[in-house]
Amino acid sequence: MRLNPVFREGLEVYLAEGHGFAAYFYVLILLAPVVFLTLFLPSLDAQVWVGPAHLFRVSFVAALVLIVYFSLRTANQEFAPWRLRTVKSWLHEQGLSRGALARGQLALFSLQVILFVLLCSPLLLWAAAIARASAAAIVSAFLLLSFYAFAYGIWGLAALALWERRFETRQVFVRVFCIMMVFLTSVFYLPLNPAAFLLSYLGEKEMAPLALWGWQWAAYSAHFTFHILLLGAGLAAHRWGLRREVYW
C-alpha cells in the first residue's frame, strides 16, 4: 500500500526528523505540572477547594486548551515550515490532485491530534483514577477532547490553505481565532465554550438553555450544533482555499 505523499512528507518531517517533538514537549511540560500541582495546591477560595475533587476536570480542561492550541499551530505548519512543500508545489509541480492533497493534510492532522491525545492520556487517566471518575465519564471526556481538537484544529488547515504564502497572517489568524472563540462564547452563551461545557458536563451541573427569538434550545444541542457547524465551516474553508489555489 502506498502512502499519501503529503502524509508521508509530514511523517518524515515531524517524526523522523523530529520537528514535531517541540509541540509534544510543550504540551507535556505544561500539562504535567498543572495536573500534579492541582493535587494539593490551594486556590484563592480555601472554603471550597479540594484539589483531587477537581483534578479530573482541571486536567481535562488544561489538556483541551493545550491540545487545541497546539493542533491549530501544527495544522498551520508553524513548526519547520521550510521543510514542507507548499500547496502550490504539490498541485502544480508534483501534479497531486486537490482531493489527494486534502486527504493527505487531513490524515496528517488527524495523526497529530491522536498523538497529542495519546501523549496526554497517561496523565489524564491517572487524574481520573484519583478523582474516582466513572468509566463513562472518562470515555466521554476523551471523545470530547478529540472532537474539540478536530473542530478547532481544522481552522489551522483552513488558514494554511487560505493564506499559505502569508505566514504572519496565518499566525495572527490562529491566535485571534482561539482568543475570539473563547471571548465570544463566554460573552454570548457560556455553554458554547468548550472549557465551560467540559467543566459543567464532568461536574454533572445543569447548563442554562439557549433562548433565541422565543425558542429554547437545550444547552447540549446548542453546544454540539455550534461545534459541528464550526467543524463543517472549517472543512469548507479548507476545501475552498485549496480550490482557490488550483485556479490561481
Partner 1 sequence: MSFGLLRIVSQVELSLSVTKAALQSCLIASLVFIVSFSLHADEITIDAEVGFHGNFHLGRPFPLRVELSNLGPPVEGTLEVTVWKGGATKGLAAFAVYHRRTISLAAQARKSAWFTVDPGSIGRPLLVTFHSARGSSAKEIDLRRHFSPAPLILLLTASNLMPHLPLAPASPAPLVAVSPEELPADARAYGGVSTVVFYEPSLRDLSKAQAGALESWLASGGRMAVLGSLDYALYQEPSIGRFLPVRVTGLKNFAALAAMERSYGSKAASLKNVTAMDSTLLGGRSLIEENGTPILVERSRGKGKILYLALDIGRPPLSRWEELPRLLRDILGAPVESRSAMPTSWDEAVFTQLLLNPALLSSYVPVGAFFMWMVFYLAGLGVVTWLWQKRRLSWRRLALIFLSLVVFSASGGYLQFRQGGKIPDGVLLAATVLEPLADGYVEGNSNIAIFSTLRRDYDLALDGGWSDFDPVPRRGGRLEDNALVALEEAGRPSFRVAVKEWDHRLFRGRSVSRFPLSVEFDPREDKRVLKVSNLTAHDLTDCWLILAGERISLGDVASGSTRTREFPLANGAASAADSRSRQVDLRDIPFKDKTRELLFRASFFPQEHGLARWGGNAALFFGWVKDAPRRIRAGEERVSTRDFTLFRAVFPLGEDEDL
Q: Using CB under 8 A as the criterion, which residues of the chain lie in contact with partner 1 when the complex forms?
A: 16, 18, 21, 28, 32, 35-36, 39-40, 42, 46-53, 118-119, 121-123, 125-126, 128-132
Phi first, then psi: give them for residue 217, nearest 5 degrees: -110, 135
The distance of Cα 148 from the centroid of its chain, to the nearest Å, equals 5
For residues 193 and 110, what is the distance between their CA atoms, to the nearest angstrom? 22
**Closer residue to partner 1 (CB): 43 or 97:** 43
**Closer residue to partner 1 (CB): 68 or 123:** 123
What is the nearest approach in angstroms of partner 1 to the Cβ of residue 25?
Answer: 9
Cβ neighbours of residue 3 closer than 8 Å, sequence gap 6 or more: 11
What is the nearest approach in angstroms of partner 1 to the Cβ of residue 199?
Answer: 15
Residue type, 182: V
Q: For residue 244, what is its C-alpha cell?
A: 482557490
For residues 241 and 13, what is the distance between their CA atoms, to the nearest angstrom? 23
User: How far apart, in Å, are the Cα atoms of 89 and each of 84, 129, 164?
Assistant: 10, 48, 11
**Closer residue to partner 1 (CB): 99 or 203:** 203
What is the nearest approach in angstroms of partner 1 to the Cβ of residue 24?
Answer: 8
For residues 77 and 177, what is the distance between their CA atoms, to the nearest angstrom? 16
**Closer residue to partner 1 (CB): 114 or 236:** 114
What is the nearest approach in angstroms of partner 1 to the Cβ of residue 26?
Answer: 13
Angle, CA 36 vertex, CA 33 and CA 39 arms, to 5°: 140
**Closer residue to partner 1 (CB): 36 or 147:** 36
Q: Are 66 and 119 in contact (CB under 8 A)?
A: no
What is the nearest approach in angstroms of partner 1 to the Cβ of residue 29?
Answer: 9
**Closer residue to partner 1 (CB): 110 or 121:** 121
What is the nearest approach in angstroms of partner 1 to the Cβ of residue 193?
Answer: 24
